[in-house]
Amino acid sequence: MNNRTATILPFLTIILLLSTTYSFADGSTPQPQKETKQKIVNNSNSANDEASIKKQLQKKNTPDATTYINKYDQRQALPLNKAQQAHVLAEMRSLLDGIQGIIAALVSDDMEAVAKNSRPLGMGMKQNAENTLHGILPKAFMKLGKSVHMDFDKIADDAGRVKDSKHTLRQLSEMIKKCQGCHKSYRIEVKNQ
């Protein structure tokens, strides 16, 4: 394993864990059951058919999913309609894709590619994407999102100016802490339209 791979490997591990691990606000993790709520949802004719899902959950003597979430997930709910939810989740996926591109560029010590992957995720993305969510999302959430976009601009600027992959990794590490903080504080709750 070369030095660069050894430096970047912990970040890849963190991203993998962030995308696959879930724990409740009290620190506990969901325990597997014989038939999980997800299986019930997946076996439904339509994942959007809430009445059908609730009926199946009741048949299985399983608590309603909303009750389950409200009881164990104490993060602040962000009440969004389905279109707003899709928008927020698409933006998060774009940010994750950009982070992956930055890490891949750092493995190759390609600082030009670091800048190329960072710049589209900066304040230009924020201006284009979040105008429709002002007044809907909490100010603290919006402020945190803005700081993440500013971080991507700074990463892009420094990739061209400083050209130091360890510096970029430090910046990326600090920025990912904001992602973790946001995911620890907020959850999306789809409201009926």
User: Partners of 187 in the beta sheet?
Assistant: 77
Q: Parallel, antiparallel, or unpaired: how do β-strands 186-190 and 76-80 relate? A: parallel
Identify residue 50 by its one-letter amino acid code.
E
SS3 content of the chain, % helix, strand, coil (to 5): 70, 5, 25
Which among 95, 42, 90 has a CA at the least distance from the CA of 65? 42
Domains of the chain: which residue ranges?
A: 77-193
Domain 77-193 top-level CATH class: mainly alpha
Which pLDDT value is given to residue 95?
96
- Comparing 45-49, 85-89, 119-123, 142-146, the range with the smallest average pLDDT is 45-49
Residues in the chain: 193
| Helix/strand/coil for 122 | coil
* pLDDT, tens only, 149-186: 999 999 999 999 999 999 999 999 999 999 999 999 99
Answer yes or no: pTM beyond 0.75. no
pLDDT surpasses 90 at 51: no
Distance from C-alpha of 121 to C-alpha of 187, rounded to nearest angstrom: 22
